Structure 1
Amino acid sequence: MPQHSTPYSDELAGHPQIAYRNGQLMVEAVPVAELAQRFGTPLYVYSRAAIEQAARAYQNAAQGKRVALRYAVKANSNVAILQLLAHCDWGFDIVSGGELARVLAAGGDPGKIVFSGVGKTSAEMRSALQAGVQCFNVESQSELRRLSQVAGEVGVTAPVSLRINPDVDARTHPYISTGLKSNKFGIAQGLALRAYLDAALLPNLHIVGIDCHIGSQITQLEPYLDALDRVLELVHELEHHGIMLEHIDLGGGLGIRYAEETPPTPVALMSALLDRLERAGQGHRQVMMEPGRSVVGNAGLLLSEVITLKSSLERHFAVVDAAMNDLMRPALYEAWQAIVPVRPRDGTQALRYDVVGPVCESGDWLGRARELDLREGDLLAVLSAGAYAMAMASNYNTRPRAAEILVDGAEAHLIRERETVEHLMAGEQLLVF
């Protein structure tokens, strides 16, 4: 979609299928203002074409190579989006029994599901074993023993890969860094050989791989290569002890453009990793990758209406009907996401606004110090909201979660209905006096 030059063109860079046309914001061929009128606000809006474009970029990079792609469901778990990716022949990386149920409901192939996560319950293990998942990424020796026991009870052998913590700095926000020795994830590099040797002795387990995931929103190649080098050290050590692996799982975490980031492309990332594997004599192994944010992040936006404009002695506030319960990233990580008007004004009355929600927390903000020319009733779009927006949404302040829309060309499909307060109270019970 051509992007006409506007004061917000820089913010729209890196967001395929989202552009201004004839003075209004469009997602594919649908005016965003029409979506607000039809479905209300707040509203999550996704572009099918943008998701498929991002998915194809990985698939094209993997063409002809021993690479298995597994979408990280935690980024956005709507069943319609999972269905879309399953239709594109992707597998899935899950971290809970609930995500397993979603993938299966969306028609995902259980033989292409990798079950990650640091705290799997016995019930979740049982469900995954019965479904026939491809592999469990195990994160502790305690989990190995529990999985062996559950697999014995189910009467199957569990395929396992051990997640190694290589103590590599992903150079990202501390809350989304997962590969340092201070993080809760994985088995420390120095303890990994013992864990593998113990796993080889446990009944009902079959070792198939090694796993490493160092964080999220990574915008450089070096952390991935550093982690791979540490993993390869262990692979050689395991081979020396007679433990042969079928695959190396290098996780996900590739960043997207929120502001001025320039993350590597899937081609650049995959080429660098596969070249390092080839030079290490490991090019014959299957490589597994688990992107999430980079598949859906820039395909979506959060649409919101300006309720109130107010000023204090020091600041100007645009109070909107979306809040921290709809988009947790700013409150949780102080994350920056572009905020653009749906119908830009001429800028003559622009002020520097803090864009905030109505939730009773000072941390309830979506953006600070944004130059905007606003009136009450205007529509704003928070960009890059395809990942970790609805997936992290809550009902704080008894706020029903927003509807989700998937735009496909000139069509808009409701893929999740807006919650109501009645939905929220449906499972609650009054006391009997």
Structure 2
Amino acid sequence: MSLEALANKYGTPLYVYSADQILDRLGMFHEALEGRDHLVCYAVKANSSLAILKLLAEHGAGFDIVSGGELDRVLAAAPEAAGRVVFSGVGKTADEIDHALNVGILEFNVESEAELDLLSARAAKLKRKTRFALRVNPDVFAETHPYISTGLREHKFGIDIKRAAELYKRVKGNKWLEAHGISVHIGSQIRSADPFGAALGRVHKLVRQLRREGIELRSIDAGGGLGIDYHGGNSDPAARVRDYAVAINAALDGFEGRLLLEPGRFLVAQAGALVTRVLNVKQNGRKTFVITDAAMNDLIRPALYQAHHEIVPVMPRAGRARAVDIVGPVCESGDFFARDRKLAPVETGDLLALLDAGAYGMSQASNYNTRLRPAEVLVEGKRARLIKRRETIADLLATEIP
């Protein structure tokens, strides 16, 4: 599909996703884990588009959610997938727990002793027996951005792995709680398979200990976090998944239960691009600014994480590349996509594509400066369809009372 044609038809900024790419990535996990009982639970927070959720559900995926709203999205896209949902997150409310209990999700990933007590109370109140897994914190370091590292003791996530056995034993025999599994998630955008193997090795050791003490867990949730290459390198994603699977299988040797996985970014990031139009090219002394109609409210990752996205002209012009700052029109100095980035010549009206923007792009977008969030398009083979229309000012003001 021509990005230029899509931009002309649907306007800019515009998110464009490839369905084929998403399904190809899902298939990599199935191929690498062939022979092991597993369920890929897509991390909805990465990109919560109903069309993408429906696409994945139709191909057998489950879902990892972190809020009641994300559960509602899964139910709207694929109500039949409720039994393939795991509910993670450190701050589940009683209403969210009740909602998940009523629709019959697969399991709750419990992150504290207080949450376990709340889950027990709500299950008893509703008279619904429920499956749970303790999310343990294995104290494994994963080399990634500190904002997306989650596996150390000083992080807010999970339960100290040394206390987990005590909690499983404390609720053994509870009429409304079934100790179904154990969960771990050490962070996001992790490029090496070694930390995953180390974390799962510690988890498997605990599972064997619990079995000896009469507590049989039937699932291990390995979480997500497998990273991608944002710098346009020649890395082989299928090989990365194979390495990941080898590390996990080695750590779980002898475990015959079900393996749950929660990839998000790896499935959708490189399937998406944010297409934006150049508003003008501005010279300030020695500094050149390329000002686009997309801004930090559309894609906040560079401002929030200093994240790198490759940026390319949709229709390249001849000429020597030069260092520019690529920025948006929002009234913040942090409103940038790249600084001192070499870019081929561009002029007012040209289109740029910010690559690898399928994850944590639209899902983190906002209406800062009363800006309308982008439209979204899904490309399926040789066909493209609008999966979310562009917002209007009426949409933004509908909930407000002057």
Fold shared per TM-score above 0.5:
yes
Retained in 1: the 8 A contact 2:198–2:251?
Answer: no
Corresponding residue for residue 333 of structure 2: 362
Q: Distance in 2 between matches of 1:157 and 1:94?
A: 20
Corresponding residue for residue 23 of structure 2: 52
Structure 1 SS opposite 2:368: coil
Corresponding residue for residue 83 of structure 1: 54
Corresponding residue for residue 41 of structure 1: 12
Q: Distance in 2 between matches of 1:404 and 1:319?
A: 22
Provide, for residues 93-122 of structure 1, a one-character-per-residue CA deviation record: whole Å limited to 9, x for no partner. Answer: 111111111111111511111111111110
What one-letter code is carried by the residue in structure 2 that aligns with 1:36? A
What one-letter code is carried by the residue in structure 1 that aligns with 2:84? K
Q: Distance in 2 between matches of 1:277 and 1:193?
A: 18
Structure 2 SS opposite 1:89: coil
Retained in 1: the 8 A contact 2:108–2:131?
Answer: yes
Corresponding residue for residue 350 of structure 2: 378
Is 1:277–2:248 an aligned residue pair? no
Corresponding residue for residue 20 of structure 1: none
Corresponding residue for residue 395 of structure 1: 367
**Aligned mate of 1:179, from 141, 146, 151:** 151
Is 1:99–2:74 an aligned residue pair? no
- Measured at CA, do residues 358 and 199 of structure 1 come closer, stay the same or move farther in structure 2, by a change above 3 Å? farther
Provide, for residues 114-141 of structure 1, a one-character-per-residue CA deviation record: whole Å limited to 9, x for no partner. Answer: 1111111100000100000000000000
**Aligned mate of 1:121, from 90, 93, 109:** 93
Structure 2 SS opposite 1:200: coil
**Aligned mate of 1:351, from 309, 313, 322:** 322
Corresponding residue for residue 315 of structure 1: 287
Bigger drift between 297-306 and 195-204 goes to 195-204
Retained in 1: the 8 A contact 2:19–2:379?
Answer: yes
Retained in 1: the 8 A contact 2:197–2:250?
Answer: no
Bigger drift between 261-270 and 365-374 goes to 261-270
Matches within 5 A, 1:129-168: 129-168=101-140
Provide, for residues 374-433 of structure 1, a one-character-per-residue CA deviation record: whole Å limited to 9, x for no partner. Answer: 111110000001111001111111111100000122221000010011111111111xxx
Q: CA deviation at 1:201?
A: 5.3
Corresponding residue for residue 328 of structure 1: 300
Q: Distance in 2 between matches of 1:285 and 1:409?
A: 37
What one-letter code is carried by the residue in structure 1 that aligns with 2:119? L
**Aligned mate of 1:66, from 37, 60, 63:** 37
- Measured at CA, do residues 163 and 261 of structure 1 come closer, stay the same or move farther in structure 2, by a change above 3 Å? farther
Could you tell me which runs of 5 or more consecutive residues in structure 1 were left unpaired when the two chains were aligned. Answer: 1-29
Q: Distance in 1 between matches of 2:361 and 2:334?
A: 16
What one-letter code is carried by the residue in structure 2 that aligns with 1:416? K
Provide, for residues 235-293 of structure 1, a one-character-per-residue CA deviation record: whole Å limited to 9, x for no partner. Answer: 23222322110011111111111014846522221122113311xx32x1211111111
Q: Distance in 2 between matches of 1:295 and 1:183?
A: 26
Kindly tell me the number of residue pairs found equivalent between the two proteins.
397
Structure 1 SS opposite 2:136: strand
Corresponding residue for residue 15 of structure 1: none
Q: Distance in 2 between matches of 1:105 and 1:369?
A: 43
Retained in 1: the 8 A contact 2:273–2:355?
Answer: yes
Provide, for residues 175-219 of structure 1, a one-character-per-residue CA deviation record: whole Å limited to 9, x for no partner. Answer: 010111111100012222222222325441110000000011110
Provide, for residues 47-69 of structure 1, a one-character-per-residue CA deviation record: whole Å limited to 9, x for no partner. Answer: 11111111111122233321111
Provide, for residues 218-237 of structure 1, a one-character-per-residue CA deviation record: whole Å limited to 9, x for no partner. Answer: 10011101111221232232
Corresponding residue for residue 221 of structure 1: 193
Retained in 2: the 8 A contact 1:326–1:402?
Answer: yes
Q: Distance in 2 between matches of 1:422 and 1:59?
A: 44
Q: Distance in 2 between matches of 1:358 and 1:201?
A: 59
What one-letter code is carried by the residue in structure 2 that aligns with 1:41? T
What one-letter code is carried by the residue in structure 1 that aligns with 2:226? L
Q: Distance in 1 between matches of 2:234 and 2:186?
A: 19
What one-letter code is carried by the residue in structure 1 that aligns with 2:281? L
Q: Distance in 2 between matches of 1:195 and 1:387?
A: 35
Corresponding residue for residue 14 of structure 1: none
What one-letter code is carried by the residue in structure 2 that aligns with 1:67? H
Bigger drift between 38-47 and 183-192 goes to 183-192
- Measured at CA, do residues 217 and 329 of structure 1 come closer, stay the same or move farther in structure 2, by a change above 3 Å? same
Retained in 1: the 8 A contact 2:66–2:89?
Answer: yes
Corresponding residue for residue 16 of structure 1: none
Structure 1 SS opposite 2:369: coil
Normalised by the length of structure 1, the TM-score is: 0.89
Q: Distance in 2 between matches of 1:415 and 1:371?
A: 33
Corresponding residue for residue 248 of structure 1: 220
Structure 2 SS opposite 1:316: strand
Q: Distance in 2 between matches of 1:203 and 1:323?
A: 52
Using the aligned pairs only, state the percent identity.
Answer: 50
Q: Distance in 2 between matches of 1:56 and 1:273?
A: 17
Provide, for residues 133-155 of structure 1, a one-character-per-residue CA deviation record: whole Å limited to 9, x for no partner. Answer: 00000000000010111111111
Structure 1 SS opposite 2:370: coil
